[in-house]
Structure 1
Amino acid sequence: MKQARPAPSTRRSPRMALAIALALAAGSGQAGPASAQDGSWRDSVEWNGATARMRADGDGWRLQPGSGAAVVISPQPMRSQTASPLFDGLFALAQAELAKAQVEAISDSAYDRGKPIPCSCFETGEKWRYVWTRDLSFAADLALATLRPERTRNALRFKLSDLRAGAPQGTYVVQDTGSGGSWPISSDRVVWFLAARGLVDADASDAEAARFDEAVWHALTDTLAQDRQFVFDADMGLYRGETSFLDWREQSYPRWTADDVAFLAQSFALSTNVLHHEALRLAERMARQRGDALADDYARQAGALATQIERRFWREDRGLYMSYIGTAAHPVPFEAYDLLGLSLLIDSGIAPEARARRALANYPGLEAGSPVIWPQQPGVPIYHNRAIWPFVSAYSLRAARKLDDVARIEHEIRSILRGAALAGSNMENYELVTQAVHVEAGALSGPVVNSPRQLWSVAGYLQMVMEGVFGIARDDAVDPKIPVSLVPMLFGERERISLRLPDREVVLVRPRNLDGDLLVADATAREGGRDTVRLAARRSHRSSSTLDAAAFAPASPDAPSFVQDAGGWRIDVPARQRLYVDGALRVDASTQARAIRLPKHDAQQCASLTRVEGGIESLHSPTRCVGQDTAIAGDWPRAWRAPQAGRYALSVDFTNTHGPINTGITAAVKTLVAQCDGVDEQRGTLVMPHGAAMQRSSAVVIDVPTGAACRFTLRDGVNMSYLAHNARYTGGAGGVDGPINSADIGALHAVPVKDPVR
């Protein structure tokens, strides 16, 4: 997380009633008011009462955006030549903005007290002058690794670190400041390897590239080992932690996580798990190249993870993959979906083609573009909620190309282009319905933060041109997939369009026959540095969602109450609510309130409620659990004798006030070691995030024989304050004054639990 964010209002915004205009109606060739069958969008685009115009100005261009001063765009090293000055000029604008992002020093108020830090790399945006692991990595994966490999290597190296405390020594990727004190609450730092995979396997004669290759290998093996130890949940077969990119939890998680991030540390996110899968696949490939025996281990881990991702995140009733699910103790489904996670999943190849195609078709959109989350959340300012993010649209475009989804391809190209034209820059984000850079809505106004020339938005525009239109794939093959509906804009009366890069040129030749909806390569001739691709039209796939992209979910209900009665527990379920028990739906929503009874068990039982309105389910209430709970106090090591054989979840009461709940680097991470009679030593991770009140840590589950006596000790784990990189951190505890990995720890709790559902 880049900075502390303001607390959102609790006032609910009005429900929007908007017709969906994601796709072209089958065979209609229409994409909303900007008809693709005429010559619109060549030199201007009209939207929401505003008009952006582009005209040639000597060798450059002059853009008059929807509002504000004109933007003069100078000629750039790469040049597209199409029938559209708007398309060509905005490609030059993206290059100019990329040049502005190339800096020799970076700064942020949380590091070195805001003083410049030398780094020949990229700054994140006009308002974000630092290098953030997530932003840099997605931008690099989209375009920077291809266009600026040396500077991208430099920037990526800046996000590697050894340890200044703890063990084992090695090379680790930095998880930036974030929810509850950063890693392992946020655990998507492996996105770094998504960027690095485009830079490895360099020519051995390039010494600098070869050194980077070795740095990637060491960072990969060390970071994956650390995550396997502290983040992986063996019972679920998944990695724990917050969603990637969606790191302002109140925007996309239940509102109660504003004060309780322990749930984030114990839940499972689609995007974060897909990123771990991709890192494991890269590790397998690099290990095989080195003849390292680890290759088979990485292959097994990646295969097993892919199986669990497919199994755990698919929601059949929606035909979508969930953004995140609950904890190992209560692995409930959530009515929460995000476009980045879905797009990364499709690109990874994990999802079977039929499901991938169905999921992308079912993900909703509006004429302005595709929302980064669905459904929208009530009473939350515009930022991730109710928003379009161009870099996510670029990943959606990549997924659509993989599936030949012609409607989604056109939809994302138009959204990315229109946003840059009207704003006069590749902005961080836009409001969902209007595609405006700001909408005034009182306490819910937003986007709350919106930086011009945001690095990953710039990269998304470059990717849209190079890959999305001209078809330059990551393996340097040329595989265009252009909707026929874009031919009037791109080709006009021309026979061919071209893209000139520093080391090559791609020429696309239109077919005479446009009897189809997608132009694809028919024949390719390569001569010198030029690829000439003759296109052919064919029928393809069209997506059409029935979901209202701007629809709001209902507010989450209060947590369920367990009322003890003779031999069991009664739970009252209000009308239009659903009750989930131990991860499974127990009572569906109905118009009448109901009461159910759970038999009393020694094993823990966990429950949560959701509310259903308008066919949309709310995010879950807080989880409440009951069961035989033994508190073990005293000095460490602590002793305990199990009343009966079985599986026990061990957790501690704690308070961690080393930082605010929304940022920092001092989440406490400890290893609990259990030595019980008759079994080998067992161990696991206790995570204790920042928070003002006493909380319960994550749990370690152990197997205990009948009557066994157990002895428990705590050992230091590791957190981001241990990294040498964070010796510069001045935004809070654990930085310049040295590492901190501690919390005020109270009772140790032993609770019998059921066998996991595998």
Structure 2
Amino acid sequence: MLSLILAAAMASAPLETPAWHDGLDWHGVHVGIQHDAQGAYTLAWPFGQRVIAPQAFKADTASALFDGLYAMAQDDLRQDSVSAIRDGAFDHGAPIPCHCFETGLKWPYVWTRDLSYAIDLGLWRFDSARARNGLEFKLSGVREASALQGLYVMQDTGSGGSWPISTDRVVWFLAARHLQDDGAFADKLRTALDDTLAQDRQYAFDADSGLYRGETSFLDWREQTYPAWTANEVTFIGQSFALSTNVLHYEALQLAAELAGERHEATARNTYRTQAAALKQAINLHFWRADRGMYMSYIGGDDTPVDSYDLLGISLAITSGVADGERARQTLENYPSWPAGSPVIWPERSDQPIYHNRAIWPFVSAYALRAARTINDPVRIAHEIESVMRGAALYGSNMENYELLTQGQHVDEGTLSGPVVNSPRQLWSVAAYLDVVAEGVFGLRNDGQVQPKLPVSLVPMLFGKRNAISLDLPDRQITLQLPAKRDGNLLVADRIRTQGTHTTVTLKAIRVDAPPLRMDAPLYAPIAPAAPTLTADGDHWTVKGDGKLQLYVNGQRAGVVDGSGNLARTAGLACVRATRVDAHGLESLPSPATCVGPVDQAGGDWPRHWTAPATGNYRVWADYRNANGPINTGVTAAVKWLLITCDGSDAQRVPLVMPHSVATQPSTHARFSATTKARCTFALEDGFNMSYLQHFAHYTGGTGGIDGPLNQAEVDNLHIAPLASGTGTP
């Protein structure tokens, strides 16, 4: 009933500084908290209560609510600390011994990205043994003697049969970097880092753009964030580039350079440094959208800009240093928010249920808080702290997600109801609250430095009439002391004194430029149009579409058509997409592509043959069918090497990915070069997919598991089309 009450009132009230001492009020609902002398707390709301036993580590502020929620997060973490995990897709659902953290009440398993983000948000401080054990559970060697041996981070089951459609498994290193005090684990980290980066360089790196392909990190429900037509065709995702996933690769390369330097391996260190620097440059070149002043969430495989943004990707870009200076400040300030908190994507989708769409996720809010601290934005810092606190208080647990407008845990809107899935004590939400306390308020960074950046607006809640507040953590205590004068909007360290494990920080007030949150953004993007139709007409194409559309030809912005229009014909393949633009100037997600122009075929038995009509660059792809699993899960995306030998040229080797499909469809495409009249021979060889990993011998939820590795697809015609002269795009 609480959710129905919250859903009944849309969030239209202005933001106010909260006086959350013994509770809070939100849209007519009151949540109160009491504590006793023994350190127990009772959190109560109209339809229930939760009693929280005294915990090992205490926050001592003027807000019993803040302190009690810190105790609740520790109690949630205790419940997530298990000796066995289970998932219906592994070992037929039988318990798997693991002294580690499970993902949440409804998710009693360990997933690479959930665990890694949670550990990076500070869980490594609270139980390093469980953190390491969980991370080791996500490492695997290879079970097939003929496959490339090594130690790899696992990409969990996912879109189109997992990696390399999704490639954010490198988030594992974001977590593992904090746990190198264990020598044996540190050795595994270094081996897995070298092997995983080398493998991603082979299969997911695009030398033309300088970026890594793959799905957005965490945002892995395709229809929520990608065009609706990718529900049954994920090659677009596998061909595209995501901001978050590329920043995670940048972080991994930076770590690899650092570790190589510690081992005095100068060549490896310089290689990783060079790759990291080039990747940072490529991210800033391709993802920055100047007219929005933000980094795009993802772009098409042909560099098509997508008018879509995600808070995790932007936050990681800022905290990693990929976004620096003015761009770091601008991209966070331009990302919109609502009174309840910041959405994980923007703009929202009016035709999709609430989950990633139109939702607040506390762990993403915690990364946005870190980003706000990086750029010294007290308004955003306070907003994210309040959002995470409010959500935990309203539902007596650290829930996975909330609806954006009401912060409800479920809002009934018929087919659009949601969040579709939600879980109490979700691990990365638990970590988010702990990080809000440790770093967001008390300033303890992952590198061990204490650097408070506390908005003055939160002083009434946290200090009340006190001059000091304190925090207990597993390895230290921190006390913050108020300055006599607070003429400013941000409290930072003035003097720091450390005695043993106790750090005392005397604060000082400074004034920083703090623009208000962007609260005037439209909520929804327009609905994407169908693919435009093209008809050859002399020296141009006649284009027809559904209404007024913005056209993109081979990733480049072209003309606008209203019902119909013309485009000049190109010498090579022309792939045309369309977006719909609304009155606010927001573009929809892109339509499917309509490709026209000269395309040759090479069919028959392998090897196949083809003669180049002219010197230049060519695109190659295959028609295929992969019925080895459903579109949304599995580990059997078929990954092949296409070996190309053309007269007068060195042999070329390019990957083709053939994810799970519902019918015959095109594979991902690759690029090669040939000279006039050269006879080219094409051969297909197996590459690598997740089913080769020893870990997936326990997979019982689909093919490629207990019955052995599987890397197969039915391959039909091979298609070859000329690319525009001097470019890597058509």
TM over 0.5: yes
Q: How many angstroms apart in 1 are the aligned matches of 2:358 and 2:622?
A: 38
Q: Quick one: which of 613, 616, 624 aligns to 1:654? A: 624
* 2:715 partner SS: strand
Given that residues 338 and 519 in structure 2 are in contact (C-alpha distance below 8 angstroms), is that contact kept between their aligned partners in structure 1?
no
> SS of 1:562's equivalent?
strand
**Counterpart residue type for residue 98 of structure 1:** L
Partner residue in 2 for 1:24: none
Q: Which of 464, 469, 474 is the matching residue for 2:446?
A: 474
Is 1:340–2:301 an aligned residue pair?
no
Partner of 2:727: 756
Select which of 215, 226, 242 maps to 1:253.
Answer: 226
Write the distance in 1 (CA, Å) between the matches of 2:107 and 2:618.
Answer: 46
Deviations 1:99-127 (A, max 9, x none): 11111100001111110001111100000
Structure 2 distance, partners of 1:600, 1:234, is 24
Q: Secondary structure at 1:610's aligned position in 2?
A: strand
Give the corresponding residue for 2:270: 296
Aligned counterparts of 2:556 and 2:354: Cα–Cα separation in 1 = 32
Residue 180 of structure 1 aligns to a residue whose secondary structure is helix
* Counterpart selection for 2:17 from 3, 27, 35: 35
Offset of 1:17 from its aligned partner? 9.5
Greater shift in the superposed pair: 220-229 or 627-636 = 627-636
Q: Please, which of 403, 422, 433 is the counterpart of residue 431 of structure 1?
A: 403
Structure 2 counterparts to residues 307-346 of structure 1, below 5 A: 307-327=281-301, 330-346=302-318
- CA deviation digits over 1:433-486, x for unaligned, max 9? 000100011111100000000000000000000000000111211100111010
Secondary structure class of the residue paired with 1:225: helix
User: Structure 1 unaligned runs (5+)?
Assistant: 1-13, 22-31, 203-208
- 2:651 partner letter: E
Length, aligned pairs only: 718
- The superposition leaves residues 602-630 of structure 1 with CA deviations (integer Å, 9 ceiling, x where unpaired) of x1111100001131211010112112111
Does the Cα contact within 8 Å between 1:683 and 1:700 map onto a contact in 2?
no
Cα 1:600–1:587 shift into 2, 3 Å: closer
The answer as to whether partners of 1:366 and 1:549 remain within 8 angstroms in 2 is no
Cα distance change of structure 1 residues 546 and 406 upon mapping to structure 2, 3 Å threshold: closer
Contact 1:556 1:611 in 2 (8 A): yes
Deviates more, 1:304-313 or 1:542-551: 542-551
- Equivalent residue runs for 1:178-193 within 5 Å: 178-193=158-173
Contact 1:371 1:549 in 2 (8 A): no
Shift of 1:219: 0.2
Residue deviations 1:142-161, cap 9 Å, x none? 01122221211110000000
**Separation (CA, whole Å) in 2 of partners of 1:719 and 1:750:** 25
Q: 1:455 to 1:34 in 2, by over 3 A?
A: same
Q: State how far apart, in whole Å, the 2-side matches of 1:233 and 1:65 are.
A: 54
CA distance in 2, matches of 1:561, 1:548: 36
**Structure 2: how far apart are the matches of 1:546 and 1:421?**
25
Inter-partner Cα distance in structure 1 for 2:546 and 2:103? 47
Q: Which moves more between the two structures, 724-733 or 140-149? A: 140-149
Q: Does 2:352 align with 1:370?
A: no
CA distance in 2, matches of 1:57, 1:34: 29
Distance 2:670 2:312 in 1: 31
Q: Report the AA paired with residue 313 of structure 1.
A: F
After the TM superposition, which residues 138-537 of structure 1 pair with which residues of structure 2 at under 5 Å, given as runs?
A: 138-165=117-144, 166-200=146-180, 202=181, 209-292=182-265, 293-327=267-301, 330-537=302-509
Which amino acid is the alignment partner of residue 536 of structure 1?
Answer: K
**Counterpart Cα distance in 2 of 1:194 and 1:543:** 31
Q: Tell me, what secondary structure is at the counterpart of 1:576?
A: strand
Q: CA deviation digits over 1:159-185, x for unaligned, max 9? A: 000111243211000000000000000
Give yes or no for contact 1:409–1:483 (8 Å, CA) kept in 2: yes
Q: What is aligned with 2:42?
A: 63
Give aligned-pair identity as a percent: 54
Question: Displacement, 1:61?
Answer: 3.4
1:739 is aligned to: 709
Distance in 1, matches of 2:678 and 2:254, equals: 41
Work out whether 1:684 is the aligned partner of 2:654: yes
What's the Cα RMSD here?
1.6
Q: Which amino acid aligns with 2:298?
A: Y
1:73 equivalent among 52, 59, 82: 52
Aligned mates of 2:317, 2:625 — CA distance in 1 = 37
TM-score using structure 2 length: 0.96
Partner of residue 565 from structure 1, selected from 517, 537, 552:
537
Unaligned 5+ segments in structure 2 are: 1-6
Q: Secondary structure at the match of 2:457?
A: helix
Give the corresponding residue for 2:4. none
Note closer, same or farther for the CA distance 1:517–1:326 as it changes in structure 2 (3 Å cut): same
* Contact kept? 1:18, 1:550, Cα under 8 Å: no
Residue 48 of structure 2: SS of its match in structure 1? coil
Secondary structure of the equivalent of 1:96? helix
For the residues of structure 2 that align with 1:503 and 1:276, how far apart are their CA atoms?
30
1:738 maps to a residue whose letter is G
Supply the distance in 2 between the matched residues of 1:232 and 1:144 (Cα, whole angstroms).
31
**Where does 1:87-126 land on structure 2 (aligned, <5 Å)?**
87-126=66-105
Match of 1:86 in 2: 65
Structure 1 counterpart of 2:639? 669
Partner of 2:687: 717
- CA shift, 1:574, in A, is 5.0
Partner Cα separation in structure 2 for residue 653 and residue 628 of structure 1: 17
Instruction: Determine if contact 1:576/1:613 at 8 Å carries over to the other structure.
Output: no
Preserved CA contact (<8 Å) 1:668 1:743: yes
- Partner amino acid for 1:614? A
Q: How many angstroms apart in 2 are the aligned matches of 1:644 and 1:189?
A: 41
Q: Is the 8 A contact 1:650 1:748 kept in 2?
A: yes
Give the stretch that moved more between structures: 646-655 or 563-572.
Answer: 563-572
Tell whether the 8 Å contact from 2:573 to 2:723 is kept in structure 1 after alignment. Answer: yes
Which has the larger displacement, 366-375 or 347-356? 347-356
Structure with the greater relative contact order (CA < 8 A, sep ≥ 6): 1 or 2?
1
Partners of 2:122 and 2:446 within 8 A in 1: no
Taking the aligned partners of 1:189 and 1:240, their CA distance within structure 2 comes to: 13
SS in 2 for 1:692: coil
SS of 1:512 mapped into structure 2:
coil
Q: CA deviation at 1:711?
A: 1.1
Preserved contact between residue 11 and residue 340 of structure 2 (Cα < 8 Å): no
How do 1:634-653 residues align onto structure 2 when only pairs under 5 Å count?
634-653=604-623
Amino acid at match of 1:406: P
* Distance in 1 (alpha carbons) for counterparts of 2:55 and 2:10: 43
- Do 2:17 and 2:458's aligned partners in 1 also have CA atoms closer than 8 Å? no
Q: For the residues of structure 2 that align with 1:147 and 1:212, how far apart are their CA atoms?
A: 18
Note the C-alpha offset of 1:593: 4.1
